[in-house]
Amino acid sequence: MERPKIAMVLGAGGLRCVSAFGALAVLRREGIDVDMVVACSGGAAVGYWIAAGGTDIPEGIARYTEGMAHSFGSLGVRRVLRALLPRWLGYSPRGGLMKDQRFNRYMAAELRGVRFEDLQVPLHFVAADVHSGEQVVLSSGPVFDAMRATLAIPLLLPPWEVDGRLLVDGGICNPLPVDVAMREGADIILAMGFEDPLQSELDSSVALIRQVLAVSSNHLMRAQFAFHSMAHHAEVIPVIPDFGQQVGLRDLHLIPHLVRQGELATERELPYLRRLLQAQLVQPAEATA
């Protein structure tokens, strides 16, 4: 009797992705193992931690917090000027508005020598090719390059080159990549997705940009999710935490709250997940009888 293959899909969502630790805590309590992780953007760091066989959840959260504290440098003056005056200073799509040297050094040190092939649980990161717009699934080679690519928040962090392709955050083409888990043969998919909160006041051009991005990516996530849930046979359980407030990338003090909400959202889906696991365990036995 074969156990159903369980995938955890962690969607784009910046700091909110830390709530995946809450989900993981619930699964651990229930003795449910994750057989595969697919992550995009902010979900990548948690995804890696799970795939590397992390066991101590509080320690995992502490490391995640430390990583986030390193991740965002200040705005680079020269970078901002380049974006504003492309003709004079020479613009390159390889640039971003933020300095990323410190972040790169920190991550490279953390992930030195780690390859996807060495991980305990199969891991897939989703990025997007800046030039062709295609989705790129990264499942082999050095984890550092793949993680840096999927974390490249458009315009803020510079894109990252992997195998000759310039890649950015996969959120722009597939913010909750359940289809990758389906393709990899998952039977049950826990899909942790985050809608971008809408702005309550449109009082600056930054608020305007955020609103356009939020509206587009929410539509994209819903449309893709609707299609994949309908067209495929895998069971998809959406886990959508409700944080009740805006969460910025620097709101590290909110992490305990975010984790707790992830835990609660997963607990809400637990009765269904349990039923599903039982049914899937019984079915093959009946078939052979």
Task: Select the span of 59-67, 216-224, 242-250, 255-263 touching another protein (CB under 8 A).
Answer: 216-224
> Minimal distance in Å, beta carbon 122 to another protein?
25
| Both tokens assigned to 232 | 């495929």
Asked if residue 75 binds another protein (CB under 8 A), the reply is: no
Is the Cβ–Cβ distance between 37 and 189 less than 8 Å? Answer: no
Question: What is the DSSP code string of 87-141?
Answer: HHH---TT--SB--HHHHHHHHHHTTT-BGGG-SS-EEEEEEETTT--EEEE-SS
> What mask of x and - would describe binding to another protein in positions 175 to 214, judged by CB under 8 A?
-----------------------x---xxxx-xxx-xx-x
From the list 52, 70, 17, 11, the residue with the least C-alpha distance to 143 is: 52
The whole-angstrom distance between residue 210's C-alpha and the CA centroid of its chain comes to 19
Instruction: Output the CA torsion 33→146→250→212 (10° steps).
Output: -100
Determine the straight-line distance between the first and last CA of the chain, rounded to whole angstroms: 12
| Both tokens assigned to 161 | 């080159």
Q: How many residues bind another protein (CB under 8 A)?
A: 41
Asked if residue 231 binds another protein (CB under 8 A), the reply is: yes
> What mask of x and - would describe binding to another protein in positions 76 to 95, judged by CB under 8 A?
------xxx-xx---x-x--
Is the Cβ–Cβ distance between 250 and 17 less than 8 Å? Answer: no
Asked if residue 218 binds another protein (CB under 8 A), the reply is: yes
Site for another protein in 97-136 (CB under 8 A): 128, 130-133
> Minimal distance in Å, beta carbon 133 to another protein?
4
Binding test (CB under 8 A) with another protein, winner from 58, 115, 185, 216: 216
Task: Select the span of 21-29, 32-40, 168-176, 253-261 touching another protein (CB under 8 A).
Answer: 168-176
Binding test (CB under 8 A) with another protein, winner from 3, 28, 112, 219: 219
| Amino acid in position 58 | P
Asked if residue 234 binds another protein (CB under 8 A), the reply is: no
C-alpha distances (whole Å) from 172 to each of 21, 218, 230 are 24, 11, 22
Residue ranges in contact with another protein by CB under 8 A:
82-84, 86-87, 91, 93, 128, 130-133, 154-155, 168, 172-174, 198, 202-205, 207-209, 211-212, 214-220, 223-224, 226-227, 230-231
